[in-house]
Chains A and B, each alone.
Chain A
Amino acid sequence: MGFIDIRNLVKRFRTKYGEVLAADNVCLEIEKAELITLLGPSGCGKTTTLRCIAGLERPDSGDVLIDGVPMFSQGFVPPAKRGIGMVFQNYAVWPHMTVFANVAYGLKLEGVPRRTREARVREMLDIVGLAGLERRYPGQMSGGQQQRVALARALMRHPKVLLLDEPLSNLDAKLREKMRFEIRGIVSRMGMTAVYVTHDQAEAMVLSDRVAIMDQGKLVQVAKPDEIYHVPASRFVADFIGTTNIVEGQVEEILDDTGLVGLRTGLGRTLCRARNRAAVAKGEPVYLSIRPEDIEVINSTHEARDNIYTGTITERAYLGHLLYLFIRVRDTVIRAQCHPRQVGSEGEETRIYLDPAKCVILPS
């Protein structure tokens, strides 16, 4: 059993368009001292799930257990009694209180004596990098500083669980990147269990021990970042994380000896590595996914291997440190990532190689 145990969580919202399932039987176990990210497009239910953990939302059914204690089924445990800290998307720093008052709020409620309170707040402000700004009002601070106040406030009571709801989405790109590492650092230093909601996959990849991907209220894959990237469980995940080429196909043959599967795709015949051979049956329609960086552009015209196709370059996209080539093979356009000095201009013919070990078969 995990430290946080989400069991069969169901939450419906009624809107003018009808009922929406914001959380559809979500089950998730989160380990102690783990930082897990709930990732997904907007409206996928990640925030609802987070708010159920916080107790700001009540599920229609299902339960959340924190440290083995049920939060809903045996009487509602209010947010105040859950031992959580939370950082909100728009900071939710109280504009009528100084930084000090904001951060010290929880301690004051706990009845921590003034002296101790001051020391602890000072210490926390040091950690988040706001030393000396105790007397400021939020209105006088930048977005990044307000975010740090919110973080300090959430951490102040040493919560068992830290919940972060898109905490960086209102910051500019540079600051966002910096804060990512800071949050990661602070959380792991304090050994806290954290649930982080974001729609930014880079953020999720950098921060998380594990990533939980949600789509339309359902949890679709929970795994370590690299696994999510390299072995996506569905077309949705493959598509959502990074960039990939998706080609429709059909299982033609299963090559028992090499562990490879032969597909008939829009490119022609393509050999793929099958992760779980039992799961694919002959004749079954599937998707093939391959990342642009796994596509090799072959300059020599003589090589003859499997998975080599000839196509026409339709577009070059130069990004400085790399180059994308869009290559049309029959009716399918494949995006390949190349070294920036790769030759070939639009309209020219070129050949590409798809490494079977890097071709992933996804259920249709």
Chain B
Amino acid sequence: MKSGKMLAVTCLFLLTLLGVAGAAQQKLGWVGPIYVELSESLKKGFQDYYLRTYGEPIEITFVRPGGWPVCVDRVRIWDGKPDADVFLGAGAPAHSVLASLGLTVPYVHAHWDMIPAEWHGMKAKDPEGYWSAFAPWLVSNMYNELVLRMYNVPPPRTWDDLLNPIYRGHIAMCLTYASGTMYEVVQIQLQTRGWRDGWAYLRYLAAQVGRWTTGSTDTTHNVTRGEYPIGIAQPQMNAMVARRDGYPVGNLVPDVTVLVPEAAALLAGAPNERNAKIFLDWLYSMEGQKYVLQGGYFVARTDISLRQWQAEGVTMASHAIAALGGADNFWAVDLDLLDYDLELATAQWDEVNNTFDREIYRKWEELKSTLSQIEAVELQIADAKAKGADVAAAEAKAAEARTLFEEGELATARTAVTEARALLRR
């Protein structure tokens, strides 16, 4: 009985607590997949700015129900009656879907021209004004220096490096549909190598994987904790922030990569449209961009000089310069970038994901065992060859097995391995 009363009293007390808060007049709501470090930084910066400029406080709410696909789905469920004003974060695929569903509306903010239209053939803002990048980054990989040293292997440099057997079992990779970044990694392979060779590469890569993760943050966990020293498909700034915090991790921008224009857009039917527009104007201002950088993301304006900011005392500027390989502006990074076909990538979303799911992820164990069988027979052939035996027939069979593996005919590939072994024995 007593506990019941106490509970009631506690509830009442907390109810009043809740009632007292939330009395601010001005409101602004964000939804999106950005990390809390950034949202906290932006909150602080914009609240200061708003109070300074308009003389009254503003209450900001931020909802992040999960990764960007979850955020997109949330907006879809709101269906024109959004519980936020700005979609904050996510790359081009998310924004083009939101725009095509009419869930965002075009808004050309005050600093629209300071954002490049495109970069190495990749869009950084929408020509129709729906969205623009405020925190661009490159799809990259991440590694744990300390753990790699313990295992006595060098960090991989290129996509092909990752196929080196020394990395087998050390790689953490994400399910494609659980991470936009991972999807882009898949698209990079398909677009640079072509459909057949792209999938062949992905099959080899899968055989190297030690752990499938369920999101790029999950991958980051695994790499920083040393569970798996190499993580595929990482937002470029993650390593920057981790290094700043003293973690022994490094960032690898691979030989070919793509841009993710982490963007902001105005939601259709935004309840606080005026404040949302004020916010977007501020976000792309020099002041707003500084808060973006301090929130642990790169910055998007073409007219930014990181060295000048460093001189001004923006603490993250030096980390950003280091992470960008000494570049003074994000867009000044000199890289071999893929001429990425975003339209194609977006159109192929379902098909590629389902193929990856069925052909790579679900066949993971089979891929590993088939490849190891192929490699075993190739070793035997090499041995026999060294001893001067005639191995031409077996070699041809083994090569056939490899081709079959690359094309996903795993059972047939294993039969070919058996045949190669038989030929060798003869």
Q: Do any CB atoms of chain A lie under 8 A from CB atoms of chain B in the complex?
A: no
